[in-house]
């Protein structure tokens, strides 16, 4: 924990007194999202999040403030830069901003005071001013042209029939796993053209294939049947983009394997990579099913789709445009982000990775606060950029890991597990309800602003499936050491999922929602 100086905000008679007088309001931005108590570290994070959001990453302001401990300290160099910022503020005809910079120059060291002022300024509508002007400058893309939306009467009738057939009258996420020896997967890992070595468990030596015969049975209804042809017709002329980490790539791979049998045999079944974007085009439908690697959603030093194993995770907590420009015109977006935030310590970066003016701050045990800040950046982008009449949004809840067997009363992980957990209502130790609460709260706030996101809560149904991970049956990028080979559970992958497997169920549910758009 850090210590905070308690210098109060000096009175600064100015044209912004009306705003300054509101500084006594409750600082809800400084409340922890977990226990609703005032939290000084979170308060500090909010101050800098608000400042950078206001100035939109301008390099002049990126060095305007320096963090020493937890106080805003104005040194000689930063005074010069803030004076330059002050001139920019004056030229922008924003007296409140100018007064705020003057106030900082006068030496207000309390993070609490800064947060109070920023709260008052936000309540007065000042901090939203630049975002609103950006919204006016960058209107959302127009809706699809009529000829892209037009379908033949026959196609419409087929679509309606599929929707009516799949529309359940119950909660698809509440149910149990039922062993069905007669059921079979819709594809085999050895015959899917899109299969990756990370998920091809049978190919890499798994002999027990019972995990494929468990089907998800919702209470009071059946899981909708997956119809690849109907889905491809539904997304004809559209972009379906999965955005997130390797669990979303796991689901994307599952989706491609599920629809492959609906493609013409002559179809080109290759995937094109453009930096972080992986694109499969179903040419006969003029549709693409894509995956974009962005494990933290915001910018980080883990953004390379393959070379992302780093010892110190650095996150630009308020920067998302680098990623978002690649999927801002998608018709259907499926997001996820969870596991990459579960770290004992991370580094926040204000500024750019390339610039010399960057400010770095290492934080410990603050992944929940950082997760919320990143989701705020993500939600702000959606609020001001997404085309609400065109783009349909989904967010997948966290995918559980089975790393700690104590949850099901064994002293190891998923290694050698061949049966699901049978205890109804089981909840794994790694399925963090607090992080789920944060994304659920973020989605609710977006919906209040008119941005609708379907939250697909696949956590609980997946939590039972300790038997369905690759374990040691996958293509490891690095060969296990002799020590690991002597104790296989030490290198078992209990995070991702074998295919065919659990992600197919996620896609069955996603399919239902897409078909009912």
Helices 95-105 and 76-91 pack at an angle, to 10 degrees, of 170
Where in 308-408 does DSSP place strands (E)?
314-316, 332-335, 345-350, 359-364, 392-396
N residues, the chain:
517
Per DSSP, what are the bridge partners of residue 393? Answer: 333, 453
How high is the pLDDT of residue 124? 44
Q: Report residue 130 as tokens.
A: 């630049």
| Cα(477)–Cα(466) distance, integer angstroms | 23
Residue found by looking up tokens 């994307």 in the block: 252
Exposed / middle / buried, residue 80 (Cβ in 10 Å: 0-12, 13-18, 19+)? exposed
Backbone angles phi, psi at 334, to 5 degrees: -120, 110
Q: Are 315 and 370 in contact (CB under 8 A)?
A: yes
Q: Which residues are catalytic?
A: 246, 493, 496
Q: Report residue 222 as tokens.
A: 């059946």
Per DSSP, what are the bridge partners of residue 347? Answer: 314, 362
| Cα(361)–Cα(490) distance, integer angstroms | 33
Where in 266-412 does DSSP place strands (E)?
272-274, 277-282, 287-293, 299-300, 314-316, 332-335, 345-350, 359-364, 392-396
Residues of the chain with pLDDT under 70: 1-169
Exposed / middle / buried, residue 115 (Cβ in 10 Å: 0-12, 13-18, 19+)? buried
How high is the pLDDT of residue 99? 57
| Cα(294)–Cα(274) distance, integer angstroms | 14
| Cα(86)–Cα(102) distance, integer angstroms | 7
How high is the pLDDT of residue 224? 85
Q: Report residue 241 as tokens.
A: 């983009």
Q: CA dist 239 to 234, 288, 293, Å?
A: 11, 5, 16
Rg (CA), the chain: 25
Q: Which of 203, 278, 271, 281 is nearest to 246 (CA)?
A: 278
- Which segments of 7-139 does DSSP mark as H helices, in order? 17-20, 40-55, 59-62, 76-91, 95-105, 111-123, 129-137
How high is the pLDDT of residue 267? 85
Cβ-count burial 366-405 (b if 16+ within 10 Å, e if not):
bbbbbbbbbbbbbbebbbbbbbeebbbbbbbbbbbbbbbb
Phi/psi class of residue 244: alpha, beta or left (left: φ > 0; alpha: ψ in -120 to 50)?
Answer: left
Neighbours of 131 (CB within 10 A): 14
Per DSSP, what are the bridge partners of residue 73? Answer: 66
Contacts of 473 (CB under 8 A, 6+ apart): 201, 202, 204, 205, 206, 498
How high is the pLDDT of residue 313? 92
Q: CA dist 430 to 40, 339, 434, Å?
A: 27, 10, 11
SS3 292: strand
Q: Are 353 and 292 in contact (CB under 8 A)?
A: no
Q: Report residue 54 as tokens.
A: 């206001």
Q: Domain boundaries in the chain?
A: 17-137, 173-299+327-339+386-515
- What pTM does this model have? 0.71
Per DSSP, what are the bridge partners of residue 244? Answer: 293
Helices 502-515 and 153-166 pack at an angle, to 10 degrees, of 130
Q: Report residue 370 as tokens.
A: 């950082």
Residue found by looking up tokens 């009529």 in the block: 146
Q: Are 458 and 510 in contact (CB under 8 A)?
A: no
């Amino acid at each position: 924990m850090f210590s905070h100086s308690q210098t109060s905000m000096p009175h600064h008679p100015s044209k912004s007194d009306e705003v300054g007088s509101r500084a006594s309001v409750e600082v809800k931005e400084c409340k922890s999202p977990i226990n609703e108590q005032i939290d000084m570290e979170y308060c500090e994070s909010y101050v800098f999040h608000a400042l950078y959001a206001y100035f939109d990453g301008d390099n002049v302001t990126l060095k305007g403030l320096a963090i020493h401990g937890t106080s805003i300290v104005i040194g000689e160099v930063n005074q010069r830069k803030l004076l330059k910022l002050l001139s920019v503020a004056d030229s922008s005809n924003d007296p409140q901003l100018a007064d705020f910079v003057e106030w900082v120059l006068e030496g207000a060291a309390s993070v609490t005071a800064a947060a109070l002022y920023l709260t008052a300024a936000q309540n007065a509508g000042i901090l939203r001013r630049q975002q609103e002007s950006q919204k006016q400058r960058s209107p959302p893309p127009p809706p699809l042209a009529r000829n892209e939306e037009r379908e033949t009467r026959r196609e419409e009738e087929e679509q309606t029939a599929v929707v009516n057939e799949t529309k359940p009258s119950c909660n698809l996420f509440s149910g149990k796993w039922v062993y069905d020896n007669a059921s079979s997967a819709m594809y085999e890992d050895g015959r899917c053209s899109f299969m990756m070595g990370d998920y091809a468990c049978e190919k890499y030596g798994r002999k027990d294939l019972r995990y494929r015969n468990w089907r998800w049975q919702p209470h009071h209804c059946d899981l909708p049947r997956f119809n690849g042809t109907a889905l491809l017709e539904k997304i004809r002329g559209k972009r379906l983009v999965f955005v997130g980490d390797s669990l979303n790539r796991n689901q994307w791979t599952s989706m491609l394997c599920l629809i492959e049998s609906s493609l013409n045999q002559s179809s080109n079944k290759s995937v094109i990579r453009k930096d972080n974007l992986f694109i499969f085009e179903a040419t006969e439908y003029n549709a693409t099913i894509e995956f974009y690697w962005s494990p933290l959603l915001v910018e980080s030093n883990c953004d390379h789709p393959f070379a992302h194993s780093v010892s110190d995770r650095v996150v630009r907590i308020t920067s998302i445009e680098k990623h978002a420009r690649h999927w801002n015109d998608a018709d259907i977006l499926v997001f996820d982000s969870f596991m990459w935030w579960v770290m004992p310590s991370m580094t926040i970066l204000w500024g750019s990775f390339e610039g010399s003016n960057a400010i770095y701050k290492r934080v410990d045990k603050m992944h929940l606060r950082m997760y919320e800040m990143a989701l705020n950046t993500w939600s702000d982008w959606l609020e001001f950029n997404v085309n609400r009449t065109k783009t349909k949004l989904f967010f997948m809840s966290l995918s559980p890991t089975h790393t700690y067997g104590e949850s099901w009363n064994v002293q190891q992980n998923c290694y050698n597990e061949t049966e699901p957990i049978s205890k109804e209502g089981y909840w794994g130790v790694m399925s963090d309800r607090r992080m789920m609460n944060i994304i659920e709260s973020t989605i609710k706030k977006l919906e209040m602003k008119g941005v609708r996101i379907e939250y697909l809560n696949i956590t609980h149904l997946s939590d039972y499936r300790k038997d369905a991970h690759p374990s040691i049956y996958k293509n490891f990028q690095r060969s296990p050491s002799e020590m690991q080979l002597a104790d296989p559970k030490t290198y078992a992958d209990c995070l991702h999922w074998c295919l065919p497997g659990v992600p197919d169920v996620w896609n069955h549910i996603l399919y239902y929602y897409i078909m009912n758009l």
